[in-house]
Structure formats: C-alpha cells, structure tokens
Amino acid sequence: MVEKEIEQRLIAAPIKLDMTEEEMRKFANELNNYDYYSIIVDEYYLDLAFQLFKKNRVGLIVSYPLGGMTTETKVKLTEIAVKKGCSEINVCPNYNALKSGDIETVKSDLKAVFNAANGKLDVVAVPQVGLMTLEEIKKICDICLEIGIYIFKTNSGMNLGKSEPEHIEYMRRLYGNRIEIEVSGGVRNLNQARAFVRAGANRVHSSTWKLVIGAED
C-alpha cells in the first residue's frame, strides 16, 4: 500500500546514461498515477518532461555529478533552467576545489549560479555527504547559507557515495530548520525512506521510487 507521506515527499529522477525516449514516456505514464513532489531531469529531456509529467514542477541537473564544469557553463545551464520555467536546479559544487582547500573558488562558483537563478527557481546544492568528511559537509553548508542557498540534496546518487540517517541528523543538529534536506543515494525501499524522514529529511530522491513509496513490495 502506498504511504501518502512518503509519496508526497518523492522526487523522481529519470536520469541514466541509456535512458531512451520510450523509457521516459513509460516513466511518466507510471509516475503520473501518484502524488509525487517533483522530478529532476537532464537537459536533453527537459522540454519533453514539461510535456509528459502532470506536475509542472520540473528541475534540471547542473554540473552533475562531479561538479567540474566551469562556472560559466553552470551559469548558462541555470539561465536555461530559468528560461524554460524550471522550479529548481540541482547543482554540484566544485568538489576538487573544496578538497584542495580552495574555498574562495567554491564560494564564487556557487554565488554565480545563485545570482543567475535570480530568485526565480530553487537552487539545491549537492554536498555529496557520502564522500565528504563531516568538516567538509559543514563547510559546504556554511558557504551555501552565506550565499543564500538553503536546500541540500545529500548525494547525486549514481554510486557516488551513500547517505545515512546519521548524515541527516548531523545536518539537523547544526542548522535546525534553517535548511531543507533532500536525501539521495541509498534510499531503496519504504523502510529506508521512513528512517530518513524520521532523521529529519524533507524530501526523498530515489530511482526505485515504487518500492520507496510502497507501490511495490
């Protein structure tokens, strides 16, 4: 049986290397039967997503999943998202700069993206908690909050680290209700989704969304 609370927190992401248009149409036909929160897509399927999905809350990934695009490219993608009418972007910070201690580059990169959004869509930062130390997670969150970004998607998925309820609890202890947390990477079924929500997650990303909301056993 579908669990309504989890269903309404669901962010579905039909993103994979070999996603065909036929698969995207099937994905939409199935998802449209449920009361999901939003979807996130790659740029190639952005226009189609607005046509296919019943909810007009569509997000775009930016510099996903490695964060290594130039700031100019990230800004351009953000401008495209604004022009197309996206509700949000999921942006990966410059992890190489962060790991190298170049905090100013991380900050200027994200600030340029935030400014390009110009308040017309939500900017969701991806701290990749499964690959970062607690100190690095705090550093990314502090930078984002200083800029004005307050929504965090824990991981990009794609086998790049796994989220744990302890990550959510840690972020909640630090920032309380100042932030919104979207958990991603490691949410494979309903019990795991419940655990993340209990830990403080606002929304849940998953590629196995039917299992996560209880539509399948």
Coarse DSSP helix, strand, coil percentages of the chain, rounded to the nearest 5 percent: 50, 15, 40
**pLDDT score, position 217:** 78
Q: What is the CATH number of domain 4-213?
A: 3.20.20.70
Residue 82 has pLDDT above 90, yes or no: yes
Percentage above 70 pLDDT, the chain: 100
8 Å CB contact between 117 and 148: no
Average pLDDT over residues 3-10: 96
**What is the predicted pLDDT for the residue at 119?**
97
Residue 74 has what pLDDT?
98
Residue type, 140: I
Task: Report, as an integer, the average pLDDT of 163-185.
Answer: 97
* Per-residue model confidence (pLDDT) at position 174: 98
Distances (CA, A) of 70 to 4, 9, 107, 108, 142: 40, 32, 13, 11, 22
Query: CA distances (Å), 122 to each of 88, 104, 155, in order?
Result: 4, 22, 17
Amino acid 38: pLDDT: 96
Domain ranges of the chain: 4-213
Q: Which amino acid is at 42?
A: D
pLDDT for 24: 96
pLDDT at 158: 80
Q: What was the pLDDT predicted at 93?
A: 97
- Is the pLDDT confidence value at 208 over 90? no
As a whole number, the mean pLDDT across the chain is 95
The model's pTM is 0.95
Say what the pLDDT of residue 66 is.
92
| Residue 190 in tokens | 């309903």
For residue 186, what pLDDT is reported? 86
Burial classification of residue 110, based on how many CB atoms lie within 10 Å of its CB (0-12 exposed, 13-18 middle, 19 or more buried): buried
Q: Is the pLDDT of residue 56 over 90?
A: no
With cut-offs at 50, 70 and 90, classify the pLDDT of residue 207.
Answer: confident
Question: What sign results for the dihedral spanned by CA atoms 15, 21, 23, 26?
Answer: positive
Distance CA 79, CA 96 (A): 24
